[in-house]
Amino acid sequence: MTGTLWLVPNTLDLGAEPGDLPDIADILPMGVLRTAAGLRHWIAENAKTTRALLKRVDAVVPLALPLQQLAIVELPRAPKGSSSGPAPDLSPLLRPALEGHDIGLVCEAGLPAVADPGALVVLAAHALHIAVVPLPGPSALLLALAASGLNGQSFAFVGYVPAGAAERTARLRELETLSRRLGQTQLIIETPYRNGTLLDALLASLQPKTRLSVSCGLTVRSGFTRSGTVEHWRAAPSALPANLPAVFALLA
């Protein structure tokens, strides 16, 4: 019999200061903590942050093995400058499941395989007829959408926008036009240290009546969501932290 690939959610507090961290049992269901504690094989986006997560799990539900004895393998990283080409063969990462062992898949924050390279592992598991079971936990995209007050009936996650100023402005205006035509909320993310730059670009590029919502540091003690029209944002600017992830939502 083959093992199962468990999609284990992570917390959303990557980058938060220790005093800003919530209790893990307030974020992840107890059933998820028990499942995670029993797993001995892991596929991770980052082994270091996975060990940090498991250390927090261990404080609530003891791990099946000492942390240093767990098998944690990292997803292969795409070569720098590479944006295309064939997908890597991830089947070797799933060999423990073919030998009957359960495996946990975890990402840096939130749900694995959602806006995350772990989706390729899930695809490989299905090709090998390995059962895939998602576990409930926080998703920054859905939490931000729920807190925004924008259209939750029709929305799209568009990922990152270009870093270059001209290209970024063109893309934001394109998304605003699409939002207006479809009545659809557009969800954008950015590397935390560029949160302020993206906010400035949104306020400079979008029409005054377009609604803009920013959720920053979701689930951490200092986290917040602010939602209003662009003209209201311009009248009362907000500074965004450069160490916490944010989700930006717009609706024209």
Q: What is the CATH number of the domain that holds 215?
A: 3.30.950.10
Query: pLDDT tens for residues 151-199?
Result: 999 999 999 999 999 999 999 999 999 999 999 999 999 999 999 999 9
Instruction: Please tell me the predicted confidence (pLDDT) of residue 83.
Output: 53
Q: Which residues of the chain have pLDDT under 50?
A: 80-82
d(CA 131, CA 156): 28
Domain boundary pick from 108, 134, 160:
134
Q: What is the pTM of this model?
A: 0.90
Its domain, for residue 12, covers 4-134
Domain boundary pick from 105, 134, 163:
134
Query: pLDDT tens for residues 66-77?
Result: 999 999 999 987
Domain boundary pick from 134, 165, 196:
134
In sequence order, the 6+-apart residues with CB closer than 8 A to the CB of 43 are 73, 74, 75, 93, 94, 103, 104, 105, 106, 118, 121
d(CA 85, CA 88): 9
